[in-house]
Amino acid sequence: MSDGDPDPIAAPGHGVAWGLGRAIVWARFLVVAAWIAAALLATSRLPSGLGQEGAQLGSLLPRSSKALAVEARSLRTFGFPLISRSMVVARKDGGFDAAAGAAALRFIGRTDRSESGLKAVPFAAEGRPLEGGPIGDTLLVYLYVGPSTEDEATTASEHFAAGLRRASGAETTHVTGAIPAATAERDLVEENLPWVEIATVVLVVGILLAYYRSLVIPLLCVAAVGLAYVISDRLLGLIAERFGLIVPEEVEPVVIALLFGVLTDYLVFFLSGFRTRLERGERARDAASAVTGELLPVVSTAALMIAGATITLSLSGVDFLAAFGPAMAISVLVAAVVSLTLLPAILALLGRFVFLPRRVGSTKEGEAPSGDAGPPKARRKVLGLVARHPLPVVALCLVALLAAASGLRSLELGNPIIRGLPTSTQSRQGYDEASQALGPGVVGPAMLVVEGEGVGGEEAALGSLQGRIEAQPGIARVLGPAQQPASLPPGVFVAPDHSAARFLIVLEADPDGPVAPEILSRLESRLPRMIAQSGLHGASFGLAGDTSVGHELTEDTWQAGLKVAPVALAVLLLLLWALLRSRAAPLYLVGSSLLVTAASLGLTVYVFQGMLGYNELAFFVPVATAILMLALGADYNVFLISRIWREAERRDLRAAIRTAGSRASSAIAVAGLILALSFTAVWLIPIAAFRELAFALFVGLMLDTWVARPLLVPALVGLFGASTERAGNSTT
Instruction: Please state which of the ranges 26-40, 155-169, 261-275, 712-726 shows the lowest mean pLDDT.
Output: 712-726
Is the model's pLDDT at 130 over the cut of 90?
Answer: no
Mean pLDDT of the chain: 83
Pick from 316-320, 446-450, 645-649 the range whose average pLDDT is largest.
446-450
Spatial distance between the Cα atoms of 458 and 465, rounded to a whole number of angstroms: 11
Which pLDDT tens digit goes with each residue over 313-356? 777 666 667 777 888 889 999 999 999 999 999 999 999 899 88
| 608 or 724, which is more confident | 608
Which pLDDT tens digit goes with each residue over 540-586? 999 999 899 888 888 887 887 788 888 888 888 888 888 777 788 88
Residue type, 544: A
Is the model's pLDDT at 46 over the cut of 80?
Answer: yes
| 247 or 408, which is more confident | 408
Residue 400: Cβ within 10 Å count: 16
pLDDT of the residue at 596: 94
pLDDT of the residue at 594: 92
Which pLDDT tens digit goes with each residue over 493-514? 899 899 999 998 989 998 988 8
| 51 or 142, which is more confident | 142
| Kind of pairing between the strands at 617-618 and 413-414 | parallel
| 36 or 304, which is more confident | 36
CATH number of 86-176: 3.30.70
pLDDT of the residue at 730: 35
Which pLDDT tens digit goes with each residue over 278-315? 888 899 999 999 999 888 888 888 888 888 888 887 77
Is the model's pLDDT at 461 over the cut of 90?
Answer: yes
pLDDT of the residue at 265: 84
Spatial distance between the Cα atoms of 522 and 58, rounded to a whole number of angstroms: 28
DSSP 114-156: SSS-EEEEEE-GGGPBP-SS--TTEEEEEEEE-S--HHHHHHH
What does the pLDDT average to over 649-655?
74
Angle between helices 98-113 and 150-168 (to 10 degrees): 140
Is the model's pLDDT at 91 over the cut of 80?
Answer: yes
Spatial distance between the Cα atoms of 398 and 395, rounded to a whole number of angstroms: 5
Percent of the chain residues past pLDDT 90, beyond the cut: 33
Residues linked to residue 477 through DSSP beta bridges, in sequence order = 506
DSSP 57-104: GGGGS-SS-HHHHHHHHHHHHHSS----SEEEEEE-TT---HHHHHHH
Is the model's pLDDT at 454 over the cut of 80?
Answer: yes
Q: In 244-372, where does DSSP find H-type helix? A: 251-279, 284-311, 319-350
Is the model's pLDDT at 11 over the cut of 70?
Answer: no
Is the model's pLDDT at 362 over the cut of 80?
Answer: no
What's the chain's Rg over C-alpha atoms? 30
Instruction: Please state which of the ranges 59-73, 154-168, 393-407 shows the lowest mean pLDDT.
Output: 59-73
| 119 or 475, which is more confident | 475
What does the pLDDT average to over 212-229?
92
CB burial class (10 A; 0-12, 13-18, 19+) of residue 499? middle
Band of the pLDDT at 650, cuts 50, 70, 90?
confident
Q: Tell me, what DSSP letter sits at residue 607?
A: I
Band of the pLDDT at 3, cuts 50, 70, 90?
very low
Q: Where are the beta strands (DSSP E) in 475-553?
A: 475-479, 500-507, 540-544
| 725 or 672, which is more confident | 672
Percent of the chain residues past pLDDT 70, beyond the cut: 86
Which pLDDT tens digit goes with each residue over 583-641? 888 888 889 999 999 999 999 999 999 999 898 999 889 988 988 888 787 667 777 77
Dihedral in degrees, nearest 10, Cα atoms 142, 148, 151, 156: -50
Spatial CA neighbour of 353 closest among 431, 275, 430: 275
What are the domain boundaries of the chain?
A: 15-45+182-416+550-725, 86-176
CB burial class (10 A; 0-12, 13-18, 19+) of residue 728? exposed
Instruction: Please state which of the ranges 312-321, 515-524, 527-536 shows the lowest mean pLDDT.
Output: 312-321
| 424 or 649, which is more confident | 424
